[in-house]
Structure formats: structure tokens, C-alpha cells
């Protein structure tokens, strides 16, 4: 596979390293402010809610709901073999949102209802693992 055919591989920075280390370990790690007890995303050293630097890493449940999405018909490098794919924003049980792809279901508007339950899965990508989400079904 040539470089232009592979999906983009994120490169961690010191601030985001715990997130990517968590993904490699099969855990979705996000930050939580000790001072105001709220979670936030993307990784950064200061709580955006209260300004405190007293923040910690926690492991999220991995449960989420589908907040919004598009179905891309113009594949990015590495995505051509996937057919139309869902670029989604999901809302974690902890209240924060992140962009992801929806996988393990046929990507159609009928199959992707907003607010449907999802759970995280991890896809190896180069030397990191990328968090993706799949339908959780009624059992979740």
C-alpha cells in the first residue's frame, strides 16, 4: 500500500499522549477537571469550564450516542475501499463530544438515526489505535 492510499495517521503530542496510549490499551481516556468535576475534550492542560489546571485523566465508559454526521461520497486517502462512509460527531456518556467514524453497519441515512446508542471500538492505524464507534443495539 503506497503512502497516498493509507488513512491519515495521527501523531501524539505530549498533551495528547495519554489519549493515544489509552486507545492502544483499548480504553477511551478523556480528561476531567478535579476542581469543577466536569469532563472535557480535546486533550489540553487547562479546564475550559473553570480555568483550573488541576485536571486528571479518566477512562470513559465508551458508551455514546450519535449527535450528528455526514456520509462522505468523496473519499479521503485510504477511504476509497470503504464506499460512502460516515464522518460523525458522537456524544460520550460523560457529556463530551468527539469526531469519529461509524463502523460495523451499512452506512445509510436509514441505518444511522441521530441519538442511537453506540460503543467504542479501536482500529489499529500505523503505530497508534484510532477510536471508532459501532451501533450498541438495545442491549447496551
Partner 1 sequence: MTAVIIGAAETDEVGRLPEHSAFRLHLEGARNALADAGLTKDDVDGVATVGTPGPVQVAHALGVTPAWLDGTSVGGTSFLFHVRHAMAAIEAGLCHTVLVTHGESGRSRVGAPPRAFGPDSLLGQFELPYGTMGPATTFTVTALRYMKETGLTHEQLASVAVAQRRWSSRNPRAAMRDLVTVDDVLASRLVAYPFHLLECCLVTDGGGALVVTSRERAEALGTRKPPVYVLGAGESAESPIISQMEDFTTSRSFRLSSQAAFAEAKITHGDVDHLMIYDAFAHVPIYGLEDMGFVGRGEAGAFIAEGHTSPGGRLPMNTNGGGLSYTHTGMYGMFAMQESIRQLRGEAAAQVPGVEVGVVLGNGGMFMSAATLALANRLP
Q: Which residue, 49 or 59, has its beta carbon nearer to partner 1?
A: 49
DSSP reduced 3-state for 126: coil
User: Rounded distance, CA 50 to CA 53, Å?
Assistant: 9
Name the site residues for partner 1 (rule: CB under 8 A). Answer: 7-13, 16, 41-42, 67-76, 78-79, 82, 84-85, 87-89, 97-101, 109, 114, 125, 130
Dihedrals phi, psi of 20, to nearest 5 degrees: -75, -35
- Our CA dihedral for 16, 124, 116, 37, rounded to 10 degrees, sits at -20
Choose the one of Zn ion, partner 1, none that binds residue 71, judging by a C-beta under 5 to 8 angstroms depending on kind.
Answer: partner 1
Q: Which residue, 23 or 62, has its beta carbon nearer to partner 1?
A: 23
Q: Which residue, 4 or 139, has its beta carbon nearer to partner 1?
A: 4
Amino acid at each position: 500500500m503506497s503512502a497516498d492510499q493509507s488513512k491519515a495517521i495521527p501523531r501524539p503530542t505530549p498533551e495528547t499522549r495519554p489519549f493515544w496510549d489509552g486507545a492502544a490499551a483499548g480504553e477511551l481516556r478523556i480528561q476531567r477537571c478535579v476542581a469543577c468535576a466536569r469532563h472535557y475534550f480535546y486533550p489540553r492542560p487547562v479546564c475550559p469550564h473553570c480555568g483550573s489546571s488541576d485536571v486528571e485523566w479518566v477512562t470513559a465508559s465508551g458508551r455514546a450516542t450519535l449527535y450528528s454526521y455526514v456520509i462522505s461520497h468523496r473519499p479521503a486517502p485510504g477511504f476509497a475501499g470503504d464506499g460512502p462512509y460516515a464522518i460523525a460527531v458522537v456524544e460520550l456518556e460523560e457529556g463530551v463530544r468527539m469526531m469519529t467514524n461509524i463502523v460495523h453497519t451499512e452506512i445509510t441515512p436509514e441505518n444511522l438515526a441521530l441519538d442511537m446508542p453506540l460503543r467504542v471500538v479501536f482500529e489499529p492505524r500505523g503505530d497508534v489505535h484510532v477510536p471508532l464507534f459501532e451501533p450498541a443495539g438495545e442491549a447496551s
